[in-house]
Structure 1
Amino acid sequence: MKKHINRMDVRRAVAAAAMVLSVNAAWALEPFRVQDIRVEGLQRVEPGTIFASLPLRVGDDYNDEKGSAAIRALFALGLFKDVRLEASGNVLVVVVEERPTIADVDFAGTKEFDKDTLKKAMRDVGLTEGRPYDKALADRAEQELKRQYISKSLYGAEVVTTVTPIERNRVNLTFTVTEGEPAKIKDIRIVGAKAFSESTLKGLFDQDTGGWLSWYTKSDRYSRAKLNADLETLRSYYLSRGYLEFKIDSTQVAISPDKQDITITVNVTEGQSYVVSGVKIEGNFLDRDDEFKSLITIRPGEPYNADKVAETTKAFTDHFGNFGFAFARVEAVPEIDRENNRVAVVLKAEPSRRAYVRRINVSGNNRTRDEVIRREFRQYEASWYDGDKIKLSRDRVDRLGYFTEVNVETQEVPGSPDQVDLVINVAEKPTGSLQLGAGFSSAEKVSLSFSIKQENVFGSGNYLGVDVNTSKYNRTLVFSTTDPYFTQDGISRTLDLYYRTSKPYQEQGGNYELVTAGTSVRFGVPFSETDTVFFGGGVEQTKIKAGTNIPAAYLAYADTYGATSFSVPLTLGWSRDDRDSALAPNSGRYQRLNSEWSVAGDARYVRGNYQIQQYVPLNKQFTMAFNGELALGTGLNGRPFPVFKNYYSGGLGSVRGFDQGTLGPRDVTGASLGGARKITLNAEFIAPFPGAGNDRTLRVFTFLDAGNVYGENDRVELSELRASAGLGLSWISPLGPLRIAFAQPVRKFAGDRIQKLQFQIGTSF
């Protein structure tokens, strides 16, 4: 029988033998009184390090016990390969051989990991430039590197450590990696499933056997963490459908001899499906039984649903928290009737003790100032613990948009059973954005837009933005800044400064221009946690610069009312936003209402628009999204609605498939003028990209758009609505959110200009 000899055991044996030999060498010396101590063999180590570690001093009597102790103490420093004690008369001579020093640590063949990241990891364990080389430490680093590759499904990865001696007792350390091909999941089997098909259950998993898009999703790469998450998803699926006693018996992960294919087998026992026969409450409910009963979402006669049980117990715990009982215990106990496949759920509660909040601490905000987070809190220090206010506070901090994670932890105060501390843990994200947009049409060819924004300038919570549009026909420069807490009560202030030049009639070009410059100030007053009312005013000047191919309507307005128009518009608006995400919404609603009234100047008008967006989750993968917008404007004091205030429709953000801003009324020359009234309707069906599994960062959508604009004196005829349908792609890419849409008009009229392809991309920094 062959015995496997571990390399680490060999190294330990060699080291032990070396120490024994050294100690024996020490024991070979006859006892004597030490008159002096001399050290030989030092190159980089300071003599003081030796003398400080020796248990012997000048004047001491040397013996075998003290000699062996000296040997052990010097070896323990980790600086020497060999240590010997010799005697020259009454002089104790310490002879050492230093370990070589690491001159450089390098990696070759690494593609999955960044070299700088690996070097930092080596530095943390002591393998870095200037440190003594320790072979045992290098071997452990090699094994850890292999484990990291295994976590990436690279089971065939080989790591070879090369130590190259160089001058001055130094070495270069190189880890050469042969990564090989990643092992891929060849098959997933769920054994014991009867109530649901195996394909249905495997469809719940984020890991799969791969598809044509696996190069992007890497869903066919095995990960223990992902498998555990998939198993929890499987368990939740059964428990939410009545299978109260469902369990996962075992999980086997087998890898092929060539380390390229992985087979996962999950053995389950489904048990019986149970129906809820009744729900009872027991314990102390603060004499508010009816209030707590109204929170129960478990319904008798329905299959047992663990999600609803968890939802109910959490609702109970949160409701106890509203009355200051931070440590309330709520337990759902099932009483199972196996003969009839029924279960009664007993909700037992013990509120424990009422608590005060002693202190609120903030953690994780390396950039954002404490006050920016604290001013969003509605739970105050030295007040009763209030679960509703704490949840509201957490949501308000999350809605700032500065953090990827916001959590609130409750900590008991030692020695004070009626007090707690709250810790707000946040994980910051980049709050600056660089936005690039582009459109292609036969008129403008390629038009570009650019904006740079910072939502949290210097961690102050203030917003600063610059928008630039380089279109051939519409150029814009906008500077905007917002102070969300202009007052301590949370009233915001926004300042805008803008300069725009445009040629609304794009088809024939020309050298005329419509120049608008102005400034405005707007205040936002929060009336509730989701509702904000805006009001403000500004000063604006619009100049019609005549030139070739100027639309007749603009020339007529300039001749009648002057080429330069001055106005003082007042604004009033309202918004409500309860979407679950501003980047990739899956549920919730967004509404806004804006109005503008010019109370002084040459141009007198009033206009307003209302927009509503609704997101309806159909299931975990599919979402329906709806958008509607209505706008209306009219002139005052006997003047028409200014042509330069018209609404435009067509293109990105309105009716895709038509050239940007070309729908609606035309003047006698055929130029698109926009209109004083606008209707836009959009519907999207959003689904995961084929082959991407449940990845919500990459989705496709089909859409149907309809809309048009109408003149101030025109009747709004729905029969004149333009419509389009198409297919799009949404990808939260490494560069930022990307949307590409290809649209085909399904209702168009003679003279309409078509723009079928549009895209937009943004990035964070």
Structure 2
Amino acid sequence: MPSQFRLPRLSATALSIALAAALQALPAAAVEPFVLKDIRVEGLQRTDAGTVFAALPFRVGDTYNDEKGAAALRALFATGLFKDVRLDVEDGIVVVIVDERSVIANIDFVGLKEFDKDALVKSLKDFGIGEGQPFDKALADRAEQELKRQYLTRSLYGAEVVTTVTPQERNRVNVTFTITEGAPASIRDIRIVGNRVFSESTLKGLFDLNDGGWLNWYTKADRYSRAKLNADLETLRAYYLNRGYLEFNVDSTQVAISPDKRDIAITINVTEGQPYTVTAVRLEGDYLGKDEDFKTLVAIKPGEPYRAEAVADTTRAFTERFGTFGFAFAKVESRPEIDRATGRVVVVLNAEPQRRVYVRRINVAGNSRTRDEVIRREFRQFESSWYDARKIKLSRDRVDRLGYFSEVNVETAEVPGTQDQVDLTVTIKEKPTGNLLLGAGFSSADRLSLTASIKQENVFGSGNYLGLEVNTSRSQRTVVLSTIDPYFTVDGVSRAFDVFYRTVRPLNSQGEEYKLVTPGFAVRFGVPFSEFDTVFFGIGYERTEIKGTQALPNNYFLYRELFGSVSSSVPLTIGWTRDERDSALVPTLGKLQRVNFDWGLIGDTRYLRTNLQYQQYIPFGRRFTLGLNAELGLGRGLGGRPYPIFKNFYGGGLGTVRAFDQGSLGPVDVTGAYMGGAKRLNLNAELYLPIPGTGNDRTLRWFTYLDAGNVWGDGEKITAESLRASAGLGLSWISPVGPLKLSYGTPIRKRPEDRIQRLQFQIGTAF
């Protein structure tokens, strides 16, 4: 007599439990074991029959029983392809009857503005909701809730998401998420309760979140986020702990939202406690017999208020020092011994080195385009060597400085079954390194200019650079083809090729009828002598022609009469750079030093051109930075020949002395043209300050500046009396098209003949 059973439409897990219970509770429906003669499948529309047969735990000729039937049902439901499965047994034949799930044909969003559609489609696919995948109502409900949660992170508390499933032919469905985003909720009030030592305005000024910044339209700092609030609370806690308030505590936070879900009020309750002064620092534990060495790393100063930052710096320095000896898992803990009666504390540092390990293998993950060798050649920690935390950190920083990745992380994992081995995994997240730019620009010096460039910093994942740039500004028109191989040799020697064609029109008051045309090429090599020092040397060829006769400055006329209109040279280049800045775009700490010599020994010109530069960045707290810059340029003729006039330095404007017209400093020809000179000195100081309402965003800052400098001709002396100076303020923005700097200043030391230009701006200017 045939026996059959049907299970309700449950999830796979619930189904398994219900099935097992049913088989035990209904022995009357059990089937006597028999030998299978045949297996048939019914109800398939899209799924291949082989998928069903592969999931079954029995084959023709096997002995069938109830346990195998239950296992078959569990396996088929686990595929996620079916919403109902039934087994019919009759005369030694098992018929598998399935009801397939609908397949998602299309996913669409209606009313989506806040998020990128492609990003949402990708994230929904992780939930199992994607085109070509079986449709599951439970998963669709989870996806809907996840979309709502994403909107909550953007302070869109009134957002509504409705899922619509539309059946299509051939058992397919279209899934549409209809979204009503609504207006974002804004923080209207932030209150801090319980503070007595520091004012509420001072403490709120530490936060990235705010309740009314005038730049919130740009920073969105009034958009509530739990993650941002937690970060601000940690900032608040660190502020107190770094000022001696060891027992400071955030008791509670209340976040209230208005009934219309438009306004948010945040109340933070704190207990400050009393301030503590450090009286002593005591080391306990095992310091490998190098106690005196570790004591030099202690940043905690007895007699000063307790500073959690100094304690953290000390424990981190201890851990890193243990790491340099191969102790990757050293534990260093700080324990304050508090005397509340006197307000004193003794900081105890306890160290357990654990065991020494070496690196078995270094793995690279996350790179789909960049070759492994591009990453591995930056590593200073080697496989089969003792673990060295200092080298690992240096390696991570070197990979990060390549500029090809948005994230670089190094994780350490113990090797199973061993006590003295670890594996390192370098996980990177690649970012686009190609740049195609077509557009127009405008600067106060060059007026309208057209630009076009194609740049690829990581060609074919090789780590090489290839670029083509075209500039059509008024004063300088350039076509440059460049390529750089940062690892021309395995030792890290770089090689760069430049092929260029420049047309320069020096700024003057008479006209622009003359110009300097310079085609040429150059090759340079960079030899790293340390992690921060690089020596450059190279050779090139330049052919400069003075074209035009009308409004030709007298100095150019005389030079052409003496040496001809065409001058060829083969300059040799020697330079040295030490870069210890924490960032190339927005530095806040460190210094940069450069020395460069251009030596024209072969050709029609004989000269030596020297450039010296020194930059220093000094942080004041977390949000203020003082930048200092000094540059000295010197040129002189060799072999009895004058210094080539087309190699002159120019001064005035952004990058030199602001508030003076671009290129207007220095000697003036009898025709009124600005000729530049063989000597130049620039002294610059900038104090960077955050724009109110932007929090700790360093990409948009304003600054005050003080500039001094001038340009002198060959034979003139550099004197303090001849210096020009200016002061003013400006705006610095790391825009999508490059660093933008705008300044407004006034000369504080000038001469009547100087040309003044108070407002100046340019894209691509550093200092």
TM-score by length of 1: 0.88
What secondary structure, in the 3-state scheme, does the structure 2 residue paired with 1:644 have?
helix
Residue of structure 1 aligned with 2:684, choices 671, 682, 685 = 682
Q: CA deviation at 1:338?
A: 1.6
Instruction: Give the conservation status (yes or no) of the 8 Å contact 1:31–1:61.
Output: no
Q: CA deviation at 1:81?
A: 5.9
More displaced, 306-315 or 411-420? 411-420
Aligned match of 1:551: 553
Aligned match of 1:4: none
Q: Does 1:701 pair with 2:703? A: yes
Q: Does 1:571 pair with 2:546? A: no
| Distance of 2:718 and 2:556 partners within structure 1 | 23
Aligned match of 2:3: none
| Distance of 1:390 and 1:56 partners within structure 2 | 54
More displaced, 466-475 or 197-206? 466-475
What secondary structure, in the 3-state scheme, does the structure 1 residue paired with 2:420 have?
strand
Aligned match of 2:369: 367
Q: CA deviation at 1:556?
A: 0.7
Deviations 1:202-234 (A, max 9, x none): 221111213221122111111111111111111
1:116 to 1:455, Cα distance in 2 relative to 1, 3 A: closer
| Distance of 1:212 and 1:27 partners within structure 2 | 75
One-letter code of the match for 2:490? Q
| Distance of 1:350 and 1:59 partners within structure 2 | 64
1:399 to 1:99, Cα distance in 2 relative to 1, 3 A: closer
One-letter code of the match for 2:291? D
Residue of structure 1 aligned with 2:534, choices 529, 532, 535 = 532
Aligned match of 2:181: 179
Q: CA deviation at 1:451?
A: 4.8
Residue of structure 1 aligned with 2:358, choices 356, 359, 379 = 356
- Please give the residue correspondences for 1:125-136 in structure 2 after superposition, counting only pairs within 5 Å: 125-136=127-138
One-letter code of the match for 2:473? S
Instruction: Give the conservation status (yes or no) of the 8 Å contact 1:276–1:343.
Output: yes
One-letter code of the match for 1:343? V
Aligned match of 1:636: 638
Instruction: Give the conservation status (yes or no) of the 8 Å contact 1:461–1:483.
Output: yes
| Distance of 2:333 and 2:30 partners within structure 1 | 76
One-letter code of the match for 2:180? T
Percent identical across equivalent pairs?
65
1:282 to 1:126, Cα distance in 2 relative to 1, 3 A: closer
| Distance of 1:538 and 1:36 partners within structure 2 | 83
What secondary structure, in the 3-state scheme, does the structure 2 residue paired with 1:657 have?
coil
1:186 to 1:58, Cα distance in 2 relative to 1, 3 A: same
Residue of structure 1 aligned with 2:262, choices 246, 260, 263 = 260
Instruction: Give the conservation status (yes or no) of the 8 Å contact 1:29–1:87.
Output: no
1:193 to 1:714, Cα distance in 2 relative to 1, 3 A: same
What secondary structure, in the 3-state scheme, does the structure 1 residue paired with 2:555 have?
helix
Residue of structure 1 aligned with 2:385, choices 363, 372, 383 = 383
Count of residues paired in the alignment: 747
| Distance of 1:31 and 1:390 partners within structure 2 | 65
Q: CA deviation at 1:585?
A: 0.7
Residue of structure 2 aligned with 1:398, choices 400, 403, 408 = 400
Instruction: Give the conservation status (yes or no) of the 8 Å contact 1:27–1:67.
Output: no
Q: CA deviation at 1:757?
A: 4.3
Aligned match of 1:144: 146
One-letter code of the match for 2:535? V
What secondary structure, in the 3-state scheme, does the structure 1 residue paired with 2:419 have?
strand
Deviations 1:29-80 (A, max 9, x none): 9999999988776544556667777899999999999999998887776556
Q: CA deviation at 1:700?
A: 1.4
| Distance of 1:582 and 1:406 partners within structure 2 | 17
| Distance of 1:417 and 1:63 partners within structure 2 | 50
1:273 to 1:555, Cα distance in 2 relative to 1, 3 A: same
Deviations 1:377-412 (A, max 9, x none): 333333333333333333333333333343333332
Residue of structure 2 aligned with 1:588, choices 587, 590, 593 = 590
1:761 to 1:434, Cα distance in 2 relative to 1, 3 A: farther
Q: CA deviation at 1:579?
A: 0.5
Residue of structure 2 aligned with 1:272, choices 259, 271, 274 = 274
| Distance of 2:90 and 2:373 partners within structure 1 | 72
Q: Does 1:310 pair with 2:312? A: yes
Deviations 1:576-631 (A, max 9, x none): 11011001111111111111222232211212121111111112111111211111
Aligned match of 1:712: 714
- Mark the runs of 5 or more structure 2 residues left unpaired by the alignment: 1-7
| Distance of 1:294 and 1:57 partners within structure 2 | 74
- Please give the residue correspondences for 1:44-123 in structure 2 after superposition, counting only pairs within 5 Å: 44-45=46-47, 98-123=100-125
- Please give the residue correspondences for 1:680-759 in structure 2 after superposition, counting only pairs within 5 Å: 680-759=682-761
- Please give the residue correspondences for 1:600-615 in structure 2 after superposition, counting only pairs within 5 Å: 600-615=602-617
1:83 to 1:370, Cα distance in 2 relative to 1, 3 A: closer
Residue of structure 1 aligned with 2:248, choices 246, 249, 257 = 246
Residue of structure 1 aligned with 2:465, choices 460, 463, 469 = 463
1:131 to 1:321, Cα distance in 2 relative to 1, 3 A: closer
TM-score by length of 2: 0.88
Residue of structure 2 aligned with 1:493, choices 491, 495, 498 = 495
Residue of structure 2 aligned with 1:508, choices 507, 510, 523 = 510
Aligned match of 1:163: 165
Instruction: Give the conservation status (yes or no) of the 8 Å contact 1:27–1:64.
Output: no
One-letter code of the match for 2:670? V
What secondary structure, in the 3-state scheme, does the structure 1 residue paired with 2:581 have?
coil
Aligned match of 1:6: none
- Please give the residue correspondences for 1:284-303 in structure 2 after superposition, counting only pairs within 5 Å: 284-303=286-305
| Distance of 2:9 and 2:184 partners within structure 1 | 32
Instruction: Give the conservation status (yes or no) of the 8 Å contact 1:82–1:96.
Output: yes
More displaced, 43-52 or 199-208? 43-52
Deviations 1:448-478 (A, max 9, x none): 5555443333332333333432123422222
One-letter code of the match for 1:376? E
Aligned match of 1:216: 218
